[in-house]
Amino acid sequence: MPDVLVAGAGPTGLLAAFELERAGLDVLVLDRDTRPTTQSKALGLQPRSVEVLADRGLLAAIEPYTEARLPGGHFSGIHIDYTDLPTPFPYQLGVEQVHVAAAIEARLRTPVLRDAAVTAVAQDDDGVTVTAGGREHRAGWLVAADGGHSTVRTLLGAAFPGRSARISLVVADLTLTRKPAGFADEWRLPTKSAGFLLPLSGGRHRLVVVGEEQQRLGRDEPVTAGELQRALTALHGPGFEVGEVLWASRFGDASRQLERYRHGRVLFAGDAAHIHLPVGGQGLNLGLQDAVNLGWKLAAHVRGHAPAGLLDSYHDERHPVAARVLVSTRAQAVLGVPDPDAVAVREIVTGLIAVPEARRAVAAEISGIGVTYPGISGRTTGIPVAEDGRAVLIGAELPPEWADRVETRPGAEPRLVRPDGYVVWDGGPGLEDALSTWFGEPAITLV
């Protein structure tokens, strides 16, 4: 019997499984689909996610698929420069989500069980029973990372307050049989709130549009080549000819977040816990960071050495971060409305963002570099995580009874680093306190 079941082999579920396995747990990932999806919703990795993947040795497998390194992000199409962010990765990595998921999946010890849609969940004092693909699976815990339409969320009747979609957008991957001469066919940050067109590998293009026609058509209406042709012409003018439509889907700006990320033995992460307009490219990044925050805490809890409240600190730390992203994406949606008053607000916001301090604050937020939690004095990057999921103590002596939870390394700058890269002690008194606050009672050494 595995220690933990994970529902959903999207980037969030896969990274949560990777973290749990790294910490020595047995994990089984269940996914509804019969094979990994070939359709990438997200095309961008924000700097904090690049740091997280690099520190886990996962970035090297993703980099060959990189389409672009964008020197910034955007706030409703208003450019936000990242080049002075305090990170070795002051850029957005343009890469299709499928390559991020594949790189993580390739490093799992236990293969993902596919064709295993979760249809029932029951929990008791000792564990969780999950019915998936018609079979029952039992484990101590369930991580629900089954996406924005989460079945687990519905089965548990978990409160998911917020509001429904007000606008409708279309995303499509397509080929172009004609482009206007002089059209700069390259990756640029979006500058229009009405949509964007980006070249992808293999002669494909990504088109995202939010036009008047999309607002008129129902959410279940099929997306046709004609609709895409009209939208592209409206966005970029004449001279484009849409060829083959490889994938197209409608999505909206619904904005909701679970009231509680933990429901007994079920912990929610990624889109299963929060949904919002994907403007500014933050959803995938939220999910990846949920996964690394949850992984080590759940592993410590399962192994019996988590201090009181550690597992619940997953909700306490991550809920406010996603709540803030929901605020940000709602504000960005308003700035994109083609209404003279919204245009006036946009002009003011564009001016404010040009002030360096304001720009740095927005950059820190959208890039994820500014994410912090109570009691944290900073984050690290460039320090590979411990292979076995332990915390890392740099430049200080470790009392021997902590060796099962903390790896020591030499270094001039003393730091105690949580397994998710956040610093909980940075020299001076208080090391023992920090150890017991985050890593529980020390192991008893018998003499």
Ligand X SMILES: Cc1cc2nc3c(=O)[nH]c(=O)nc-3n(C[C@H](O)[C@H](O)[C@H](O)COP(=O)(O)OP(=O)(O)OC[C@H]3O[C@@H](n4cnc5c(N)ncnc54)[C@H](O)[C@@H]3O)c2cc1C
Binding footprint of ligand X on the chain (CB under 6 A):
7-13, 30-33, 41-44, 97, 117-118, 145-148, 151, 171, 251, 270-271, 278, 281-285, 287
Q: Is 116 exposed, middle or buried (0-12, 13-18, 19+ CB in 10 A)?
A: buried
Select 55 or 105, whichever has its Cβ closest to ligand X. 105
Taking alpha carbons only, the member of 317, 323, 330, 328 closest to residue 274 is 323
The string of DSSP codes covering 61-100 is HHGGG--EEESEEEETTEEEE-TTSSSS--SEEE--HHHH
Least gap, CB of 201 to ligand X (angstroms): 16
- Cβ atoms of 417 and 398 within 8 Å: the answer is no
For the CB of residue 288, give the shortest distance to ligand X in the complex, in Å: 8
User: Cβ of 436: how many Cβ atoms within 10 Å?
Assistant: 13
CA 258/CA 261 separation, integer angstroms: 6
When the beta carbons of 72 and 440 are compared against ligand X, the nearer one is 72
Least distance from C-beta 125 to ligand X, angstroms? 24
Closest contact distance (angstroms) between CB of 117 and ligand X is: 4
Could you tell me the smallest distance in angstroms from the CB atom of residue 128 to ligand X?
A: 14
Q: Is 63 exposed, middle or buried (0-12, 13-18, 19+ CB in 10 A)?
A: middle
The residues, ordered by sequence, that sit 6+ positions from 340 with a Cβ below 8 Å of its Cβ are none
279-301: buried (b, 16+ CB within 10 Å) or exposed (e) per residue? bbbbbbbbbbbbbbbbbbbbbbb
Nearer to ligand X, 35 or 216 (CB): 35
Minimum CB distance to ligand X smaller for 277 or for 423? 277
What φ, ψ does residue 355 adopt, rounded to 5°? -75, 125
CB of residue 278 vs ligand X: minimum separation in angstroms?
A: 3
Instruction: Give the side-chain half-sphere CA count within 13 A for 230.
Output: 10
Calpha distance 317→287 (Å, rounded): 13
CB 8 → ligand X: shortest distance, Å?
Answer: 3
Minimum CB distance to ligand X smaller for 42 or for 139: 42
Which position's Cβ is nearest ligand X?
Answer: 10
Residue nearer to ligand X on the CB measure, 287 or 419: 287
268: nearest Cα among 385, 157, 119? 157
The residue among 275 and 423 lying less far from ligand X, judged by its C-beta, is: 275
Question: In this complex, which beta carbon is closest to ligand X, that of residue 201 or of residue 445?
Answer: 201
Q: How far is the CB of 156 from ligand X (least distance, A)?
A: 12
Least distance in Å: CB of 229 to ligand X? 19
- C-alpha 357/C-alpha 363 separation (Å) is 10
Q: Closer to ligand X at the Cβ: 10 or 442?
A: 10
CA distance 404 to 390: 8
Handedness of CA 31, 37, 39, 43 (dihedral sign): positive
Cβ-Cβ contacts under 8 Å for 232 (sequence gap 6 or more): 197, 207, 209, 240, 242
At closest approach, how far in Å is the CB of 11 from ligand X?
A: 5
Q: Between 15 and 349, whose beta carbon lies closer to ligand X?
A: 15
- Whole-angstrom distance, CA of residue 279 vs CA of residue 209: 12
Pick the closer one to ligand X by CB: 44 or 440.
44
- Taking the least distance from each CB to ligand X, the nearer of 25 and 286 is 286
Compute the least distance from the CB of residue 271 to ligand X, in Å: 4
**Shortest distance (Å) from residue 134 CB to ligand X:** 12
Q: Residue 426 contacts by C-beta under 8 Å, 6 or more apart in sequence?
A: 377, 378, 413, 414, 415, 416
